[in-house]
Amino acid sequence: MSDSATAARRSAIYLLDQVLGEGRLLSECLAAGALDRLGPEDRARAQRLALETLRGLERADRLLDNHLNRTPALTVRNALRLGAVELCNGEAAHGVVNSMVEIVGRSRKHGRLKGLVNAVLRKVAAEGPEAWPKMRVPRLPEWLRGPLVTAWGSEAVAGMEQAHFAGAPLDLSVKPGSEGPASDTLPTGSIRLRGAGQVSALPGFDAGDWWVQDAAAALPVRILAPKSGEAVLDLCAAPGGKTLQLAAAGAKVTALDISESRIERVSENLTRTKLTAQVIVGDALEQEGQYDAVLLDAPCSATGTIRRHADLPFAKDGSDFGALIELQARMLAHAWTLLKPGGRLIYCTCSLLPDEGEVQIEEALEQYPDMSVDRSALRVPGVEDSWITEEGGLRLRPDYWPDLGGMDGFYIACLNKST
């Protein structure tokens, strides 16, 4: 057992404690420096372990409950959960069990439970790997499952849960005129890699030939179809995947975001890809000017990204979504004032909730007499007719493309302003 593997596991348990005990998102823990003491490889490993454990949490708990008379303290339970998931994913038993015994044994508060950890994980090692694939696909917590079943039906939600459990491959958008690493090309033009490993080690990263962007997230700009020289405002730009697409098409891009730390990533991405945009820290609700086109990728529940952010259903409970829905409507109203007559606005959210997509557009179309929805703009390569919604937007879901590896959940609408 290497010290480095144990350090990564200890950090993964800390992340699980934060998500499951404190309701913090992994991104918040990482931004607060939770893994700063680890080297890059162990940092990646700790994150991967935490995410895999959250994906398999329901199964791990079922296996563990067979061997526990009482529920131990959360951090010990999380060590057992991580151990169970690793064992069932085929990791060698001695390494996993010894590591977890060492981690729990060193705890001043819980050290006496190391014998329990040893006994329980040995039982899981003996029976878990065979039982694991026969267990049901882990379900979303009820606070999210309920509204999704109401919106899309139980069969669709079961498909989404399957996609969440499988996790996400790595999708790239390639700069026009450049080449991406050898991979599959998706029907919409993004390229997809499986088991890619460290992103910055892939060919073409340093040269800025491509950037990481889920296939669904690449569609809003394809639908906007920016023209060279057009003035385009990217209102919620960070970390900048869509800004890069706009700039690569030759548009005169203004990229704005309220978060100073996140906007730095837009600048870094522009530098790496040798693309240009005006980058501004500011509040979308206070922006002024008139643009040929506006992209509003509004802050949202991010429920469409659970394949990659398995922590979200556990860290959140939906209580802050009402405020986000209200903010989206205010942002759309203000964005509309920034659009020249005859211009087009893309509204999009990486959400699975109709209140953040379909309903926003239905309400806006009733409210603004100079607004119309452009269905024809949605017909870009790879988009299927069945994804187009009644009010004229595009609904993307993680259970689509099941044989290709899924896609993020997204809602996209193209809105035209009359002249």
Annotated binding site for S-adenosyl-L-methionine: 236-242, 257, 297
Could you tell me the smallest distance in angstroms from the CB atom of residue 291 to ligand SAM?
15
The span from the CA of 256 to the CA of 262, in Å, is: 10
Could you tell me the smallest distance in angstroms from the CB atom of residue 238 to ligand SAM?
4
Binding part of the chain for ligand SAM, among 152-160, 186-194, 240-248, 399-407 by CB under 6 A, reads: 240-248
Q: Under a CB-based contact definition with an 8 Å cutoff, are residues 88 and 64 in contact?
A: no
Number of residues forming the site for ligand SAM (CB under 6 A) = 18
Q: Is residue 248 a contact residue for ligand SAM (CB under 6 A)?
A: no
Could you tell me the smallest distance in angstroms from the CB atom of residue 279 to ligand SAM?
12
Helix (H) or strand (E) holding 372: strand 371-373
29 is catalytic: no
Q: From residue 107, give the alpha-carbon distance in Å to each of 12, 53, 309, 381.
A: 15, 21, 29, 56
The span from the CA of 6 to the CA of 10, in Å, is: 6
Rule CB under 6 A: choose which of 238, 248, 279, 325 binds ligand SAM.
238
Q: Is residue 312 a contact residue for ligand SAM (CB under 6 A)?
A: no
Site string for ligand SAM, 318-357 (x = CB under 6 A): --------------------------------x-------
The span from the CA of 280 to the CA of 302, in Å, is: 23
Q: Is residue 239 a contact residue for ligand SAM (CB under 6 A)?
A: yes
Rule CB under 6 A: choose which of 241, 304, 343, 405 binds ligand SAM.
241
Structure tokens at 109: 């508060």
Q: Which residues are part of a known binding site?
A: 236-242, 257, 297
Binding part of the chain for ligand SAM, among 140-148, 176-184, 250-258, 398-406 by CB under 6 A, reads: 250-258
Q: Is residue 257 a contact residue for ligand SAM (CB under 6 A)?
A: yes
Angle, vertex CA 116, rays to CA 112 and CA 118, nearest 5: 110
Structure tokens at 185: 């090309």
Site string for ligand SAM, 71-110 (x = CB under 6 A): ----------------------------------------
Catalytic residue among 29, 300, 348, 350: 350
Q: Is residue 304 a contact residue for ligand SAM (CB under 6 A)?
A: no
Site string for ligand SAM, 271-290 (x = CB under 6 A): ------------xxx-----
- CB under 8 Å to 108, separation ≥6 — which residues? none
Structure tokens at 57: 């949490």
Q: Is residue 221 a contact residue for ligand SAM (CB under 6 A)?
A: no
Instruction: DSSP letter for 388, please.
Output: B
Per-position DSSP letters for 303-371, written without gaps between them: GGGTTT-TTHHHH--STTHHHHHHHHHHHHHHHHHTEEEEEEEEEEES-S-GGGTHHHHHHHHHH-TTE
Q: Is residue 17 a contact residue for ligand SAM (CB under 6 A)?
A: no
Angle, vertex CA 302, rays to CA 396 and CA 399, nearest 5: 35
Beta strands in 194-288 (DSSP E): 210-212, 231-234, 252-257, 278-281
Q: Which is closer to ligand SAM, CB of 49 or CB of 236?
A: 236
Q: Is residue 258 a contact residue for ligand SAM (CB under 6 A)?
A: yes
Q: Which residues are catalytic?
A: 350
Sites of contact with ligand SAM (CB under 6 A): 236-242, 256-259, 262, 283-285, 297, 299, 350
